[in-house]
Amino acid sequence: MVLIKNILAVIITVAFFVPVELEKKVVLDNKVEILIPKGWKPMNEELIKIKYPGARPPKLVYSDVSGGISLAFNHTDSKAAPENLEKYKEVLKTSLENAYPDARWEEEGIKDINGKKVGFFRVVTDTNNDKIYNYMVFTDLEGRLLICSFNCIEKKIKEWKPIAQDIMNSLRFK
């Protein structure tokens, strides 16, 4: 019995501390390159509509098997230019504040990722079931607004926050 408990303890420890392996993916018709956790798959349209119930859900979402941790891409029809990033940041923040008045804002700003100027938010929002960590990056791509959004459930934030940072910092635009 002690042997079985020790084996289970080792399995659980390994399962929780195995580092997430990232692999390069090229998405959005070869316009964006990004690191995505190995084994993540594109979410089907039905699940996208459930997870993102708004009028304009993202067109592409990669997620873990549970769907609780995901990376979404939405190349919108809204016109965008690099000189307007601050304006987009204010509009998007106001929209998020209206949708999630109890949100906890961790960081926002404009920065450079691999030679591209981007706006970003790191914010924790409430849902009916849980709190969700969101790391959003937005920029112009081919004259239209591109929003990339990583999110995970609150109990996974500690593990996934640094990985989300690595994922977003890997963005390359072609």
Nearest CA to 140 out of 161, 125, 119, 158 is that of 119
Mean pLDDT within 1-22: 55
- Is the pLDDT assigned to residue 99 strictly greater than 50? yes
At 89 the pLDDT is 95
Residue bearing the bigger pLDDT, 165 or 6? 165
pLDDT 10s digits, 121-132: 999 998 888 899
Beta strand pairing call for 60-63 and 69-79: antiparallel
CA distance 130 to 132: 6
At 18, the pLDDT band (50, 70, 90 cuts) reads: low
Eight-class DSSP state of 156: G
pTM of the model: 0.85
